[in-house]
């Protein structure tokens, strides 16, 4: 019994040390981000803000697509709904942005809970196609409500004058806002990955029938994961709309946004917290570099890089290095054979 108690105390000690180390790393990252903010010009601040935005979006998608294993190809619907909710309540009802921001997340989460009940009964490509259909359908709804949403002509958020309850934040302000959202999303992802709820989602991913057999309420867990993912995506969409001022349905419901979320998670490593973080930073950095130096062919080169990455390390970079550390084998050829598509 004494030996067991010592072992438990040792595990607790290691857990506490790990938590302290991670807390210190977070503080260092925040400090560096704040220092960088004072050194970058406006254009580069916006570029880094975009990276922060996609860190939050990829973490949100990872909750439903990575931990739970339900690949949502229509995740952009929550981005668009959060954005349009914010634009409408700020323009029509004169809400402040800081009030509209959390309400947009709640609005997206409630919508996810409602559609999640029938959609999450589907699996695999059926679920993916159904979510894509929901996103396309909501875009048409927005276009056909011109009195409320501005329709195809778009809608503008008030940022100055008597109707503006919140003044425009500027490049530095949005940098801090998206940094905060990125930290919030990473924090949520970390909590999910380490608690009972997250373990249940992983069990559903591995074998949903077996998870149900051991007492996990799979329907409730999936809907909760979908709603949590939608909440984060909705608040990011709300922030994006305030930054852009004028928005259009084609952009807010663009499937390319979902594709980028998925690629960032897949390349970085789905089902992990670090994977989507690294995937978002790496993919956005490469994309910006190629756009600046290879203007005419940047999309082709980026697509080739993504295809190569998926072929060589289909499990994602983080999972690849974890497996390599465990097996002492970092051979890409062996990895291709192990995960042959």
Structural domain count, the chain: 1
Question: Model confidence over 114-126: pLDDT tens digits?
Answer: 999 999 999 999 9
Q: Which residue has the higher pLDDT, 24 or 168?
A: 168
Residue 229 lies in a domain: yes
Residue 59 lies in a domain: yes
Q: Residue 302 in contact with residue 290, Cβ under 8 Å?
A: yes
CA dihedral 41, 97, 244, 39 (to 10 degrees): 10
- 275 to each of 21, 66, 113, 186, 233, how far by Cα in Å? 19, 10, 26, 11, 18
Question: Model confidence over 72-91: pLDDT tens digits?
Answer: 999 999 999 999 999 999 99
- 105 to each of 79, 86, 102, 186, 242, how far by Cα in Å? 9, 10, 5, 16, 14
Task: Name the residue with tokens 């905060």.
Answer: 180
Residue 176 lies in a domain: yes
CA distance 294 to 287: 10
pTM summary value: 0.91
Q: Across residues 250-279, what is the average pLDDT?
A: 93
Residue 163 confidence (pLDDT):
77
Residue 4 confidence (pLDDT):
41
Residue 20 confidence (pLDDT):
67
Residue 8 lies in a domain: no
Residue 7, pLDDT > 50, answer no
CA distance 189 to 264: 15
Residue 264 confidence (pLDDT):
95
Q: Backbone dihedral region of 245: left (phi > 0), alpha (psi from -120 to 50 degrees) or beta?
A: left
Long-range Cβ pairs for the range 260-264 (8 Å, 24+):
260/54, 260/57, 261/54, 261/57, 261/58, 261/60, 261/61, 261/75, 262/61, 262/65, 262/71, 262/73, 263/306, 264/54, 264/57, 264/58
Residue 110 lies in a domain: yes
Enter the tokens of residue 288: 């910006």
Residue 106, pLDDT > 90, answer yes
When pLDDT is cut at 50, 70 and 90, the band that residue 12 belongs to is very low
CA distance 76 to 177: 20
Residue 23 lies in a domain: no
Residue 1 confidence (pLDDT):
46
Which DSSP helix (H) or strand (E) runs through 127?
helix 124-143
Enter the tokens of residue 84: 């349009």
Residue 23, pLDDT > 70, answer no
Residue 223 lies in a domain: yes
Residue 141 confidence (pLDDT):
96
Residue 19 confidence (pLDDT):
59
Q: Which of 39-48, 93-102, 292-301 has the highest mean pLDDT?
A: 93-102
Residue 86 confidence (pLDDT):
97
Range of the domain at 237: 43-254
Residue 17 confidence (pLDDT):
62
Residue 34 confidence (pLDDT):
81
Residue 158 lies in a domain: yes
Enter the tokens of residue 52: 């922060």
Question: Model confidence over 184-230: pLDDT tens digits?
Answer: 999 999 999 999 999 999 999 999 999 999 999 999 999 999 999 99
Enter the tokens of residue 272: 């992990």
């Amino acid at each position: 019994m004494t030996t067991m108690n010592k072992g438990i105390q040792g595990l607790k000690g290691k857990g506490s040390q790990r938590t302290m180390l991670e807390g210190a790393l977070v503080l260092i990252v925040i400090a560096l981000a704040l220092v960088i903010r004072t050194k970058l010009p406006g254009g580069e601040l916006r570029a880094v803000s975009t990276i922060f935005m996609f860190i939050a979006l990829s973490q949100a998608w990872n909750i439903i697509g990575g931990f739970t294993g339900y690949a949502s190809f229509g995740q952009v619907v929550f981005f668009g709904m959060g954005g349009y909710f914010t634009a409408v309540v700020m323009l029509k009802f004169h809400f402040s942005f800081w009030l509209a921001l959390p309400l947009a997340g709640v609005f997206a989460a409630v919508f996810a809970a409602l559609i999640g009940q029938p959609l999450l009964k589907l699996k695999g490509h059926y679920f993916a196609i159904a979510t894509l259909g929901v996103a396309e359908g909501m875009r048409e709804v927005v276009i056909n409500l011109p009195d409320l949403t501005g329709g195809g002509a778009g809608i503008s958020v008030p940022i100055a004058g008597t109707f503006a309850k919140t003044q425009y934040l500027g490049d530095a302000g949005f940098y801090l806002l998206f940094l905060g959202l990125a930290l919030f999303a990473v924090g949520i992802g970390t909590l999910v990955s380490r608690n009972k709820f997250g373990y249940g989602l992983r069990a559903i991913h591995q074998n949903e029938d077996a998870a149900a057999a051991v007492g996990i309420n799979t329907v409730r867990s999936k809907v909760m994961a979908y709603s949590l993912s939608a909440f984060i995506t909705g608040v990011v969409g709300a922030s994006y709309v305030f930054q852009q001022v004028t928005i259009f349905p084609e952009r807010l419901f663009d499937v390319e946004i979902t594709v980028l979320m998925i690629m960032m998670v897949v390349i970085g490593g789905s089902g992990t917290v670090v994977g989507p973080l690294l995937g978002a930073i790496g993919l956005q950095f490469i994309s910006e570099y190629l756009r600046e130096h290879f203007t005419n062919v940047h999309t082709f080169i980026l697509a080739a890089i993504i295809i190569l990455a998926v072929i060589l390390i289909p499990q994602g970079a983080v999972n690849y290095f974890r497996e390599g550390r465990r097996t002492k084998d970092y051979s890409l050829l062996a990895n291709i054979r192990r995960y042959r598509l």
